[in-house]
Amino acid sequence: MLAGSACAAAARDAKASEWRTATDVELKSVLPARVPVRQERIETEMRTASGITDGHGKYIAGVVMITAGYSADGKYSHFFLVQAPMKVGSIQLEPGEYVLGYDHRGDVLEVRFYEAATGKPLGEVDATLNPSITRVESFRIWPPADRSVIQIGRFTFSYQPGE
């Protein structure tokens, strides 16, 4: 029985190691310059784009949205593209387009996920101040082999890519 669970763990680790940081060219090919959020098309700040790829055409990527002047201002801050199932906290995200917003509460960011097309709330996760992070990032997705975290500023929350 132990050999079986060791094999399962090895297979899971092999899957995680397939994911790598996406290049700027790859990110520009999958992330739109304007994202559909409810009835609006909100401009993105491509220099803040970050993502990972499985090397087989699947991406998990995000970018900061420029929401000033839109109804999303103050509610949503980032666009999030998921092309492979993933889990964030207790939230299971299927392939699709999402937006997220957050509230700063002391040493925690309360990060909320929504469907981009409808604004339907999906859940929230707490991002904690991460002392091992020395570089402040607007948004960064670390590959699973490195950290398995998503970073906003100096705050991080964990994720698990799906199959």
Q: What is the pLDDT along the chain (163 residues), one digit of tens a residue?
A: 445 554 444 444 445 568 999 999 999 999 999 998 988 999 999 999 999 999 999 999 999 999 988 887 788 999 999 999 999 999 999 999 999 999 999 889 999 999 999 999 999 999 999 988 888 999 999 999 988 999 999 999 999 987 5
Structural contact between residues 77 and 100, judged by C-beta atoms closer than 8 angstroms: yes
Tokens of 105: 């509460």
Question: Which residues are CB-neighbours of 159 under 8 A, at least 6 positions away?
Answer: 86, 87, 88, 141, 148, 149, 150
Give me the number of domains the chain comprises. 1
Tell me the pTM: 0.86
Domain hosting residue 106, numbered range: 2-161
Residue 17's CB is within 10 A of a number of other CB atoms, namely 11
